[in-house]
Structure 1
């Protein structure tokens, strides 16, 4: 089911998945998970697989596209603004609280990669959320840039920076040597395998400058809600050490997996384990909040 909500004169599109059982229902309704994806991704890039698991466990889900991406409105297109994405996330939480049948006191934040950082910021600013899940989170943009530079042995980062200075769009993912923002071995195959029909392999490269300045780990100490942080120990995109430090600061529950960034997404070896841990965490804390 597609629903929409307004943000600053534009419209964000979202998919609503309804709870398929009453395991977590009270007289106030069911919990709702607000889901957002990572860098350049859209809600049809594998979020439905996570959402299906949550719905089967008795949770509603609202998975949304940021303005400028997927089926959401807004311009510029394919351009990452941290402030705008955080505003979209707050608006999605407000929309979820107003959905029929949803318990507004049991809203769950869920984010992967870049949105994993948004979860920390949003949870710190909204102590009323019931729980939060941060999957392979990007919590320190400067650390992520240094981490990426350690893996790139070509001049791809320098070329992308030059393209950014010229204001030209670039491919988001591509094979090694292609000049795409994400071009480590295996990244194009992993990303495109989960890509949905609304996804575009294009990004404003100035997003890299936005992300380098973004350090959501600094908000971690302000998180008061129960938080699950899931770290891929071989992650070539989101530095594992930065995620671990943020998790400690937020007093989070931590799960670690011996894999790379995309290996926890649908169709990959660690997806089932990652979802299992999310459901164990959510059932425990949402039952306590009933």
Structure 2
């Protein structure tokens, strides 16, 4: 059963879906949110439905400033604010009917795949973490793009940061675009893969406040791995040109609690068939042992 629901984060209302399994509680809950400037309608329900069929509840939410959540200005991506939203969602999830508050699992993908690692290191009592094609290293991500693009994004990001300091409206760039366009994701085929996740009856605001471009290179949540003791599933795509797999492949073997899965695919293929069934199947197998019913 899927229910529209809302919760408070720092005084603003976040839109969410609550998926309940057709079983008696108390049951574990998987807290879920999307990646870069994406919204919950972009295929997250497909995962939550699979989890519910297996007996796990899910709370799927949009960050402040995005989708159906409140927050002004729109399309403002601030990593600290998104971490606050995760913490508010976790607290809310623990109070939902039928949920076992001691069995909360964090599920993140792309940028939020990094968020779940960082947040799990700061919130007590997280039972397990699943990080799908995660953003792990800002330096590694910057290494995937050209110097001219880095300089252009830095210029636009600095201008937007100044506007923010002066209390002015944001200066926007695109979250995704074709090669040569001013956008965060511009590798060949990436924008198409990103936009194909948007339902036909839904319009996606592709803008993003440019100030994010000055902070993403400094964000390396892979450092949080050393602070985690709960089971972690890390799923990386070896052909990923948006969130490179190499940092995860290098780091994961150092930690006994981290299960690394490698897939010969790109960044957006895990969300759709035929790769989706394999990806979510591995997540369900992980849940069955890490957080058994």
> Normalising by the residue count of structure 1, what TM-score does the alignment of the two structures yield?
0.91
Shift of 1:166: 2.9
Equivalent position to 1:111, from 108, 113, 129: 108
Contact 2:158-2:214 within 8 A present in 1 as well: no
**1:206 aligns to 2:211 (yes or no):** yes
Report if the CA contact (8 A) 2:187-2:242 is conserved: no
After superposition, where does 1:128-207 map in structure 2 within 5 Å?
128-149=125-146, 155-167=148-160, 168-196=171-199, 197=202, 199-207=204-212
Unmatched 5+ stretches in structure 1: none
Structure 2 CA distance for aligned equivalents of residues 120 and 249 of structure 1: 15
Give the CA deviation at 1:198: 5.7
**For residues 51 and 192 of structure 1, do their structure 2 counterparts lie closer, same or farther at Cα, with a shift above 3 Å needed?**
same
How far is 1:79 from its partner? 1.4
Aligned to 1:19, what secondary structure does the other structure show? coil
- Alignment partners' CA distance in 1, 2:190 and 2:106: 26
Q: CA deviation at 1:269?
A: 3.1
For the Cα contact (< 8 Å) 2:238–2:262, is it kept in 1?
yes
Matched, 1:62 2:59: yes
Q: In the superposition, relative to structure 1, how do residues 191 and 176 fare at CA in structure 2: closer, same or farther (>3 Å)?
A: same
Mapped to 1, the partners of 2:255 and 2:88 lie a distance apart of: 23
Q: Which moved more, 1:254-263 or 1:171-180?
A: 171-180
Per-residue deviation, 1:249: 4.3
Stretch of structure 1 that moved more, 194-203 or 31-40: 194-203
Query: Using the alignment, how far apart are the partners of 2:108 and 2:145 within structure 1?
Result: 21
**1:220-249: CA deviation from partner (whole Å, max 9, x where unpaired):** 111111110001011101121112234334
The 2-side partners of 1:65 and 1:88 are apart by 9
Alpha-carbon contact 2:142-2:150 (below 8 Å) kept: no
* Secondary structure in structure 2 of the residue aligned to 1:67: coil
1:248 is matched with: 253
Gaps of 5+ in 2: 161-170
Q: Within 1, Cα distance between the matches of 2:227 and 2:176?
A: 34
Deviation at 1:163, TM superposition (A): 2.4
Aligned position for 2:50: 53
The answer as to whether partners of 1:5 and 1:11 remain within 8 angstroms in 2 is: yes
Pairing 1:36–2:42 present: no
TM-score, with structure 2 as normaliser:
0.90
Greater fraction strand: 2
- Find out whether 1:259 has 2:256 as its counterpart: no
- Compute the RMSD of aligned alpha carbons: 1.7
Partner of residue 7 from structure 1, selected from 3, 6, 9: 9
- Helix, strand or coil: the match of 2:143? helix
- Deviations 1:31-81 (CA, angstroms, capped at 9, x unpaired): 110001111111111101111111111111100111111111112221111
Question: For residues 122 and 3 of structure 1, what CA distance do their matches in structure 2 show?
Answer: 22
The answer on 1:269 being equivalent to 2:262 is: no
- Asked whether the 8 Å contact 2:153–2:214 carries over to 1, the reply is no
Is the CA contact 1:11–1:73 (under 8 Å) kept in the aligned structure 2?
Answer: yes
Residue matched to 2:20? 18
Measured after TM superposition, the shift of residue 129 of structure 1 is: 1.3
What is the CA–CA distance in structure 1 between the aligned matches of 2:238 and 2:12, rounded to whole Å? 38
Q: In the alignment, which residue of structure 1 is the partner of 2:164?
A: none
Q: How many residues align?
A: 278
- CA distance in 2: counterparts of 1:285 and 1:111, whole angstroms: 16
